Amino acid sequence: MLAKKPPMGWNSWNTFGPNISEQLILETADAMIAQGYRDAGYEYLVIDDCWSLKERDADGRLVADPEKFPHGIKYVADYVHSKGLKFGMYSCAGVRTCAGYPASYDHEYADAQTFADWGVDFLKYDFCNFPAVGNCKNRYHRMSMALKATGRPILFSACNWGVEEPWKWMGAVGAHMYRSTGDITDNFKSFKDIALSQIGNLSMSGSGCFNDPDMLIVGMYGKGNVGLGGCTDVEYRTHFALWCLFGVPLMMGGDIRTLNDVSRALLLNRELIAINQDEECRAPYCAAAHDDHYFFVRHLANNEFALAYFNLSDNPQPVNGSFGCSFDEIGIPYGCGYGLELTDVFTGENLGIKRDYFIPALEAHGCQMYRAKLVRA
């Protein structure tokens, strides 16, 4: 089954934009192995826009830019596969891609077969330059069918930016993940706005088809194609924790060949990834929200839970601060005789059993997350 759990991998767009090449992709594949990303679950390596020539060939087929990919796309795919990774590419539901390259409108079946022949395992399918007379739902369904017609299992990553409320229908037309927002940029406001916009839609996401609030910006620090301002390490931690808690795809966007130790350790945090990849694929529940403070609980497999506290305000909150998070709000009143045994997912520290309420200190723009067990107290 494709996308039984949220897909994980790397995409070229956030950092490199149009500046992609065969050498970059091969080096990134090597880095995904050498630095432990594949072993942590990041399996897809995806080339985004600007990989082709500006025109199709005489037979109407897409052609890789020979200056960027001198050995062709199949050579790159074979190399990626030789590393135990899966290979992804990009096209668009419109007549031209977002950067003005040939797209797949009215070429869906031919392009799907081209991708299959090259060994593609993942297709990101964008929504630029879409004709006014076109039908959005029909065109995503058509590419879904075209991919299936090839006989090759290709994960279909539908990227229509939330147009026509895709959380209501993308799973029904065969997509495995669907973009639900506009593009992320490398700053706190961008990922905060995206995260808050999707809280009400997260339950319309699960095994087989996942809500995709766009790629990760961890470790970019204002550099690259979407590097507008950058984030602090505290903010990157909050961004990654939100995406892991939400159970959405984890597609890295930084240059993983050169990420610093802090960013690499965050992206490889096995406890956070385990929450993201939990086999039940349940959405979190927002139990309390006030003045940019949010308290979530997420039901996990084996009768465990994730508790997450986010301070998206500009001011720190001390221990037992003003933001109230009673356990009664998540179905565990004091008088029931049970409490929660908490383990910090960032440090591994066991905090013991908490009853009634628990309110940790939170930095401005910061977070805390815990794996919890329901125990008699």
What H or E segment, with its residue span, contains residue 80? helix 73-82
The verdict on whether 126 is a catalytic residue reads: yes
d(CA 49, CA 61) in angstroms, rounded, equals 16
The active-site residue, picked from 49, 126, 186, 278, is: 126
Are 52 and 64 in contact by the 8 Å Cβ rule? The answer is: yes
CA distance linking residue 6 with residue 247, whole number of Å: 7
Cα-to-chain-centroid distance, residue 159:
12
What letter represents residue 29's amino acid?
A
Instruction: Report how far residue 349's alpha carbon sits from residue 285's, in angstroms, rounded to the nearest whole number.
Output: 24
Could you tell me which residues come within 8 angstroms of residue 343 by beta carbon, excluding any fewer than 6 positions away?
349, 350, 351, 370, 371, 372
Are the C-beta atoms of residues 163 and 94 closer than 8 Å to each other?
no
For the chain, the helix, strand and coil percentages under 3-state DSSP, each to the nearest 5: 30, 25, 45
Q: Exactly one of 106, 117, 183, 193 is catalytic; which is it?
A: 183
Q: If phi over 0 gives left and psi between -120 and 50 gives alpha, with beta otherwise, what is residue 292?
A: left
Residue 232: CB atoms within 10 Å: 14
Rounded CA separation 310/360 (Å): 10
- Is 186 marked active-site? no
Burial state string for 252-265 with b = 16 or more CB within 10 A and e = fewer than 16: bbbbbeebeeebbe
DSSP state of 225: T
* Catalytic residue numbers, as ranges: 126, 183
